Chains A and B, each alone.
Chain A
Amino acid sequence: VSLDVQLVLLLWGTLVGLDLVSVPQMMIARPIVAGTVAGLILGDLNTGLRLGVVLELFQLDVLPVGAARYPEYGPATVAAVSAAHLSAGGLGVGLGAVVGLFIGMLGGVSLHLLRRLNARAVHAAAPRLELGDTGALIRLHAASIARDGTRAALVTATGLALAWGTRVLGATLTPRGLTVLAAAAAGAALAAGTIGTLRLVGRGPGLRWFAVGLGGGVLAAWLR
């Protein structure tokens, strides 16, 4: 993968990281979107879609309410697709998931640190804010967004570096080992996505609707 492509991935990961909380929350941060576009950038749409699906399932386990702390899967998915593409393509889904889950955790920690840094900046600017100083308000807000952009770029860069290093790991695994890893990652993703969804659906009438959909899905999968 050329340096140009790595830079485009870094830019995409940064935009994806900004989208999650800061601006504009249009859901390019969802793994299914981040992964598909990363796959297109790498010229490997299939791997992008597959890892997008795996990490989207993990994302379904996350409900981003209030001050909750959660993994950040957007930049992680970009790194995951890069890792899978560099390692073994279609069979590299498991290796991609290893990178994606680890960077997802790291992204979550970085978001917590960012919020603490923002709180410190707000605390320092509080006297000017209480005077209704518009300049101070806009500067504070813009600096916070810039801080988030820097954070997202750092997380993506770490992920892309890890993806590069994962090639070595991939070379030590046989095709059978890669299959085991891919199957395990997909299984964990299906379990996490199902439980996350059932938590939203609840035990009331929603569960009956879920069962109706499940029946239709089984039929559609069988007919395909």
Chain B
Amino acid sequence: MTRRRRRRFGTSLLRLFTVQGSWNYERMMGVGVGVAEEPLLRDLPGGVDGEAYRAAVARGTRFFNAHPYLAGLAVGAAARAEHEGVPPAQIERLRTALSGPLGSFGDRLVWAGWLPLLSALALAGVALGAGWMAVAGFLVLYNLGHVLLRSWALRAGWRHGARVAVALQTPVLQRASRLVGPAMAVASGFAFPLLARYLGEPLAPPGRIILAAVTGAGLLLLWWRPGHLTGVRLGLGVVAAALVAAWLWP
């Protein structure tokens, strides 16, 4: 890879950190993907004034949605396909085909795995007295995985081009996807009793009874009415009722 192309990869990677900056209900993250792809298209035949560049930039900005950390796979793959002269209709199909798998795989790996796993560990750390160090550890570890994933996605997309689907079969990624779910479940289970103790500690005994009662009733209500009652609604309802109780029985 030439020095100039490496620099353009760097620019593209940096822009990928803003990929959802213009997220909207019309093209979802399409505009952000176009912004990230643009540096990789500058050396298409004719350069930045050429027809190939303009057509590719226009295609890059159309509707697209995926997990933001894996959007680089689509960016790299589409840019490589443009350089290889793949017909425009096929590039559009490639983007459409990638949208679903990149979304569901990323959601499973990151939003439902890596993030809640580290969040649970940080919460347990705070409950065990590690304080801000548990929070700093969360930030460092999470972003190690975050930056590696974004960087790998862009490089893998460029390497595989139109055959990018094979990148998701990478053994390391598959193993991570299999392990992160159980690890998250164990860490979360471990954290909750410690959190109950941490939150109950500063309360007088009647306060602890209220805490236990509200937790139990909240669990039942949220379990009984999924989709209707969300955590934030339950929270607002409970604190409103507690405020009224606090005023009526000071």
Chain A residues closer than 8 Å to B184, beta-carbon distance? 200-201
A-B contact count (CB 8 A): 337
What separation, in Å, do the CA atoms of A131 and B107 have in the docked complex? 33
Stretch in contact with the other chain, from B110-118, B153-161, B164-172: B110-118
Asked if A122 contacts B26 (CB within 8 A), the reply is yes
CB contact between B190 and one of A21, A174, A214 (< 8 Å): that residue = A214
Asked if A183 contacts B188 (CB within 8 A), the reply is no
Given contacts A57-B195, A101-B235, contact A23 B21 (CB under 8 A): yes
Stretch in contact with the other chain, from A2-10, A25-33, A152-160: A25-33
Q: Map CB proximity to A onto B1-43 as digits: 1 under 8 Å, 0 otherwise.
A: 0000000000000000110111111111001101100100000
Is A17 among interface residues, defined by CB-CB distance under 8 A?
Answer: no
CB contact between A71 and one of B112, B142, B190, B232 (< 8 Å): that residue = B232
Q: Map CB proximity to B onto A98-135 as digits: 1 under 8 Å, 0 otherwise.
A: 10011011000000000110110111000001111110
CB contact between A224 and one of B26, B128, B139, B243 (< 8 Å): that residue = B128
What separation, in Å, do the CA atoms of A155 and B241 have in the docked complex? 25
A44-74 contacts to B (CB < 8 Å): 45, 49-50, 52-54, 56-67, 71
CB contact between B132 and one of A45, A57, A138 (< 8 Å): that residue = A45
Given contacts A40-B132, A53-B127, A193-B192, contact A209 B186 (CB under 8 A): yes
CB contact between A65 and one of B111, B142, B189, B206 (< 8 Å): that residue = B111
What separation, in Å, do the CA atoms of A63 and B115 have in the docked complex? 11
Asked if A201 contacts B185 (CB within 8 A), the reply is yes
Asked if A25 contacts B222 (CB within 8 A), the reply is no
Size of interface on A: residues with Cβ below 8 Å to B:
106
What separation, in Å, do the CA atoms of A30 and B69 have in the docked complex? 17
Chain B residues closer than 8 Å to A220, beta-carbon distance? 128, 190, 193-194
Given contacts A206-B182, A220-B190, contact A27 B218 (CB under 8 A): no
Asked if A28 contacts B139 (CB within 8 A), the reply is yes
Asked if A217 contacts B189 (CB within 8 A), the reply is yes
CB contact between B31 and one of A40, A131, A141, A192 (< 8 Å): that residue = A141
Asked if B24 contacts A184 (CB within 8 A), the reply is no
What separation, in Å, do the CA atoms of A105 and B231 have in the docked complex? 11
Stretch in contact with the other chain, from B56-64, B72-80, B84-92: B56-64
Size of interface on B: residues with Cβ below 8 Å to A:
103
Q: Map CB proximity to B onto A200-215 as digits: 1 under 8 Å, 0 otherwise.
A: 1100011101111111
CB contact between B57 and one of A63, A66, A132, A186 (< 8 Å): that residue = A132
Q: How far is the CB of A10 from chain B (nearest CB, A)?
A: 21
Asked if B35 contacts A137 (CB within 8 A), the reply is yes
Is B143 among interface residues, defined by CB-CB distance under 8 A?
Answer: yes
CB contact between B58 and one of A62, A65, A131, A200 (< 8 Å): that residue = A131
> Among A26, A116, A123, A209, which residue has the most Cβ atoms of chain B within 10 A?
A209
Q: Across the two chains, which residue of chain A brings its CB closest to B240? A: A98
Q: Map CB proximity to B onto A11-41 as digits: 1 under 8 Å, 0 otherwise.
A: 0000000000111111110101100100010
Asked if B214 contacts A104 (CB within 8 A), the reply is no
CB contact between B22 and one of A66, A141, A205 (< 8 Å): that residue = A141
Is A194 among interface residues, defined by CB-CB distance under 8 A?
Answer: yes
Q: Across the two chains, which residue of chain B brings its CB closest to A39? A: B132
Asked if A209 contacts B182 (CB within 8 A), the reply is yes
Asked if A213 contacts B139 (CB within 8 A), the reply is no
Chain A residues closer than 8 Å to B83, beta-carbon distance? none
Asked if A178 contacts B246 (CB within 8 A), the reply is yes
Is B210 among interface residues, defined by CB-CB distance under 8 A?
Answer: yes
What separation, in Å, do the CA atoms of A207 and B188 have in the docked complex? 11
Chain A residues closer than 8 Å to B111, beta-carbon distance? 63-65
Asked if A210 contacts B189 (CB within 8 A), the reply is yes
Chain B residues closer than 8 Å to A145, beta-carbon distance? 18, 21-22
- Give 14 CB contacts A-B under 8 Å: A25-B20, A59-B119, A115-B25, A122-B22, A140-B22, A141-B35, A187-B212, A187-B217, A189-B231, A190-B196, A191-B219, A192-B234, A195-B219, A210-B188
A144-B24, A181-B246 known; 13 new pairs, CB 8 Å cut-off, are A23-B21, A45-B131, A61-B231, A97-B235, A118-B24, A123-B26, A132-B58, A134-B38, A183-B200, A190-B211, A191-B221, A209-B186, A221-B197
